[in-house]
Amino acid sequence: MSATLGSLISRLQPDWSIRVYERLGEVAQESSNAWNNAGTGHAALCELNYMPENPDGSVSAAKAVSINEQFQISRQYWAYLVSIGALPEPHNFINTAPHMTFVRGKANIEYLKKRVAALKDQPLFPDLEYTEDLERIAEWTPLLAKKRNPKQKVAATRIVSGTDVDFGALTKYLFTDIAAHGAEIHTNHQVTRLKRQKDGTWRLRVKHLVGGTPKEVNARFVFVGAGGGALALLQHSGISEIKGFGGFPISGQFLRTTNPKLVAQHQAKVYGKAAVGAPPMSVPHLDTRVVDGETALLFGPYAGFTPKFLKTSTWFDLPFSIRLHNLGPMLQVGLKNFDLVKYLVGELMANREKKMQALREFMPTAKTEDWELITAGQRVQVMKKDPEKGGILQFGTEVITGADGTIAGLLGASPGASTAAPIMLDVLARCFPDRMGEWEPKLRDMIPGYGTTLSSDPAAAEASLAETAKTLQLQA
């Protein structure tokens, strides 16, 4: 997120000086690291959580279309950066991976049909394929079909132009680029305090974690792009806009295989249906991943719980985040999300064999010895005050900005890194409203879809998909 914001600012306002403070020895080692997330270019091509069934049985495409619109903004920005040489050859960070949905059982098949009907005429979802034929599914990806009971009722959809993104590599490239334009990147530096000065600027206390003395830094604008560390820093800042917000940490694990025989039989990201109570981002999926030029398969995530807000922080994060103003909403969330608590306990208790069983629902021939368990990144879901319910758990992201626009931060997870560009454009619009007019021509030059709605203009949608696919060397 910070790398994207830095990249945008360094192009829109090259005379501004940018400093980045990162507590770890390298950038992109938390959520954005390739193996800490699933690398799905979230465009709602296959993720059912963006199109839940309404209580009356209807299915609306609105949320899926909006996620896809946001992903197109990121794609257009990455394509622009590739075209000017600011990002390297695209295969280093983005690759084609067909996006599929796979469901079993009559009710799920009926739902999938409704989803297809709602999406089939949407310009951003061209060539959506649907089948209930196991042989066809075997052509799309053999691992799903091999040794599956032919009597089982199954259905699948596919859009071949889906993507796998190495967000860790992308983050590093973006930071390298902004550093070449004068930004200072300080690793092993932890921001420990944020204080508003009388003149409206911010004073940051920064601790050098490998020796050196703490230093104080002044800034006119601060973006708290600290992932799971953002809530604590925003609370430190004392801005009233953070009141009522809390964080609910969900940890995760993936199964991974690099066995070339298996990797060769699966080139897709296949999303299934979430279990009852499962948070939407814990939908199981079997994915092709391309990281550092090597292809692997990933399955998961298996959710879990630790009170840490970052993979590399401590168990004090959750208790230390509790304030008088967020205690009520947090308790309400705890009381009203029994299904989620039950689901997380079940996931925590699941042993290796239970995890393999979940994988075998996708890949009946999966053998334990081929798969290793890896720890994914931490997600800190947003809990916030709600006038009607007292407190709600939110699965998206939330931009928090101070009233005077001198500070902003990002809470939450999904759809996350895929939508970093539109989220950071939102930060710019909220914090620098008086500059947006001046920046607009440059923004339109970099991101042709900026300020437009591609889904309501089929010709523009088609052109955007084709042009970005060409520049990013992806399947159109």
Ligand X SMILES: Cc1cc2nc3c(=O)[nH]c(=O)nc-3n(C[C@H](O)[C@H](O)[C@H](O)COP(=O)(O)OP(=O)(O)OC[C@H]3O[C@@H](n4cnc5c(N)ncnc54)[C@H](O)[C@@H]3O)c2cc1C
Which residues of this protein are in contact with ligand X, per CB under 6 A?
A: 1-2, 21-24, 29-32, 36-40, 42, 167, 190-191, 225-227, 229, 233, 252, 301, 310, 376-377, 379, 410, 413, 415-418
Between the alpha carbon of residue 62 and those of residues 103, 419, 460, the distances in Å are 22, 16, 19
Pairing mode, strands 269-271 and 285-291: antiparallel
Residue number, 162 or 229, with CB nearest to ligand X: 229
Residue number, 229 or 391, with CB nearest to ligand X: 229
Q: Smallest gap, in angstroms, from Cβ of residue 229 to ligand X?
A: 2
Residue number, 166 or 370, with CB nearest to ligand X: 166
Q: Smallest gap, in angstroms, from Cβ of residue 273 to ligand X?
A: 17
Backbone angles phi, psi at 78, to 5 degrees: -65, -40
Residue number, 137 or 206, with CB nearest to ligand X: 206
Q: Smallest gap, in angstroms, from Cβ of residue 252 to ligand X?
A: 4
CB 437 within 8 A of CB 430: no
Pairing mode, strands 222-224 and 407-412: parallel
Residue number, 38 or 46, with CB nearest to ligand X: 38
Residue number, 257 or 414, with CB nearest to ligand X: 414
Q: Which residues contact 307 (CB under 8 A, 6 or more apart)?
A: 249, 315, 316, 317, 318, 319
Q: Give counts: helices (H), strands (E), the chain.
A: 15, 20
Quote the CA–CA distance of 195 and 211 in Å, as a whole number.
23
Q: Smallest gap, in angstroms, from Cβ of residue 411 to ligand X?
A: 9
Q: How many CA atoms lie within 13 A of 97 on its CB side?
A: 36
Q: Smallest gap, in angstroms, from Cβ of residue 328 to ligand X?
A: 26
Quote the CA–CA distance of 238 and 255 in Å, as a whole number.
41
Residue number, 191 or 461, with CB nearest to ligand X: 191
In DSSP notation, 209-256 reads SSSS--EEEEES-EEE--GGGHHHHHHHHT-GGGTT-EEEEEEEEEEE
Handedness of CA 54, 58, 59, 60 (dihedral sign): negative
Residue number, 111 or 302, with CB nearest to ligand X: 302
Q: Which residue's entry shows tokens 């839940």?
A: 52
Q: Smallest gap, in angstroms, from Cβ of residue 454 to ligand X?
A: 19
Enumerate the β-bridge partners of residue 397.
Answer: 412
Q: Which residues contact 231 (CB under 8 A, 6 or more apart)?
A: 242, 245, 246, 247, 309, 321, 380, 411
Quote the CA–CA distance of 97 and 270 in Å, as a whole number.
10
Q: Smallest gap, in angstroms, from Cβ of residue 310 to ligand X?
A: 6
Query: Which one, of 165, 158, 350, lies nearest residue 252 by Cα?
Result: 350
Q: Smallest gap, in angstroms, from Cβ of residue 280 to ligand X?
A: 12
Residue number, 390 or 396, with CB nearest to ligand X: 396
Give 141: exposed, middle or buried? Use CB within 10 Å, 0-12, 13-18, 19+.
buried
Q: Smallest gap, in angstroms, from Cβ of residue 117 to ligand X?
A: 26
